[in-house]
Structure 1
């Protein structure tokens, strides 16, 4: 399966008649007619944005989870391994320690909430799903653990596949593309063929803003995000407080909320179905304004 860019399927008519996405997770039917908000819960001390970090302590973690849910998050993304460039290595055992209890606590306290486990390791994914997670969010789309796709297929949960070259330690040295949009589209087309062999039925794609891309390439992807509708799958946009914002504006990540909000609206207008964010309230307000325009 090979794709080439042409006329994107996203259009004004698409917004008038939005596509309904249906996912199944462990027997639970999930229906999304409108875009969703995914709140980031990092149980790691090494995340690039310090306010996204939450202590692995039950009360404080549940307080933050509850706040995100009340503010409008429908998915909570729990991660125990920072994927920022140059982040410290974390053992598989430590990553499980940082995520399994957190997911179990959230699942028990907020049974209606959807939880994703953010990991590229199959064993961590299985432990997270066993603890209560409903989705697996993999920055490598199965490239960093050969057992991942088989594991997700057996778990029968939706899979978020992100585009990245290399790994978090060397990805920013792998930013050469001859034509980035067709290359990423073809990457996903080939990945999706491979993913389907393992019985994974529900896939969400993430173009991987900030992963093996220069600042300029990130904006090129966002500008052309509607081309990814050629794949016929929900698109996740993870733009929140990333370097493509704060480096361009010459500010710190803590000051990048305004830029995040602006780019989140662009992503929605280009057809993103999930916004992965640190700041749920502001993302929800952005989504409400979008819905007023295109409900």
Structure 2
């Protein structure tokens, strides 16, 4: 099943990763899917709309968010994984966590992917876990921790520094035995607007690496900044525009809240791309 995550197949048809936050405080949908019933209903909706991967998180990583103890994070996510993996065998499930103990609980419940927004900085044991379970590992770049990452992020050359970080961390994961590695530039994680725009402008360079690229810009603050402080609920068009640019640059996975619209955009993208190469 994880062969779906190989770079060649993702380039043929990029995949949609649907976001499911089982948290009370996530920036976009906090509190909406805390119950198992509501979470499973949302997964069913996203699957029908075209999601192939569901990314389940029990700790908000929005700027300024407070950390959550591992025990509480496990309490939030493990029952959802246990039921969802059985109910939707056609889907891939991803554990959005920085903690090895939470990742292990999710893998024990059947998760297929560890999505580490700390890029193995916080807990390198996640690479060994992914290798042991045959899981895929998403390595994301972030400067700082969610609580403080947006206070004053600084780079000399953000694209070069993110490329270097992802290359080093991916090599660590490879040496640990991880067979399916995905890289993510970490849009909005310890980055100002100009940093995010520079990363989007250089995504084609990241896509030249040996690993599939994941991009998550869904409803993020950079869209609000570019659109005269547009609130979260008004950022759909901006999200689609950024992700379409990412697809054109060679991105293999887009992480989204609005699954139907993302799936539609991929259908249009692949149709135009495939026709243009005939």
TM-score of the superposition, structure 2-length normalised? 0.92
Determine the C-alpha separation between the residues in 1 that align with 2:106 and 2:215.
22
- Structure-1 residue corresponding to 2:225: 247
Using the TM superposition, give the Cα deviation of residue 31 of structure 1 relative to its aligned residue in structure 2, in angstroms: 5.1
- Does the 8 Å CA contact 1:23/1:158 hold for their aligned counterparts? no
Structure 1 portions without partners, runs of 5+:
1-20
- Structure-2 residue corresponding to 1:236: 214
Cα deviations by residue, 1:243-272 (Å, 9 ceiling, x for unpaired):
000122121011111111111111111111
Determine the C-alpha separation between the residues in 2 that align with 1:101 and 1:289.
36
**For 1:87, what is the secondary structure of its paired residue?**
coil
Give the CA RMSD over aligned residues: 1.8
1:123 aligns with 2:84: no
Cα deviations by residue, 1:139-174 (Å, 9 ceiling, x for unpaired):
011111242222222222110000012211122235
**For 1:173, what is the secondary structure of its paired residue?**
coil
Q: Kindly report which structure 2 residues correspond to 1:77-96, keeping only aligned pairs within 5 A, or say none.
A: 77-96=55-74
- Structure-2 residue corresponding to 1:3: none
Runs of 4+ in 1 over 4 A off after TM superposition: none
Structure 2 portions without partners, runs of 5+:
none
- Does the 8 Å CA contact 1:41/1:54 hold for their aligned counterparts? no
1:164 aligns with 2:142: yes
Using the TM superposition, give the Cα deviation of residue 120 of structure 1 relative to its aligned residue in structure 2, in angstroms: 0.7
- Structure-1 residue corresponding to 2:266: 287
Determine the C-alpha separation between the residues in 1 that align with 2:136 and 2:150.
28
- Of 210, 232, 248, the match for 1:269: 248
1:173 aligns with 2:151: yes
**For 1:172, what is the secondary structure of its paired residue?**
coil
Q: Kindly report which structure 2 residues correspond to 1:88-237, keeping only aligned pairs within 5 A, or say none.
A: 88-173=66-151, 175-237=153-215
1:37 aligns with 2:19: no
Determine the C-alpha separation between the residues in 2 that align with 1:53 and 1:210.
22
Length, aligned pairs only: 270
- Does the 8 Å CA contact 2:207/2:251 hold for their aligned counterparts? no
Q: Which moved more, 1:233-242 or 1:183-192?
A: 183-192
- Does the 8 Å CA contact 1:24/1:157 hold for their aligned counterparts? no
- Structure-2 residue corresponding to 1:258: 237
- Structure-2 residue corresponding to 1:73: 51
Determine the C-alpha separation between the residues in 2 that align with 1:205 and 1:24.
12
- Does the 8 Å CA contact 2:143/2:191 hold for their aligned counterparts? no
Cα deviations by residue, 1:96-138 (Å, 9 ceiling, x for unpaired):
0111111111111111111000001001001001111110100
**For 1:133, what is the secondary structure of its paired residue?**
coil
- Structure-2 residue corresponding to 1:47: 26
- Does the 8 Å CA contact 1:114/1:134 hold for their aligned counterparts? yes
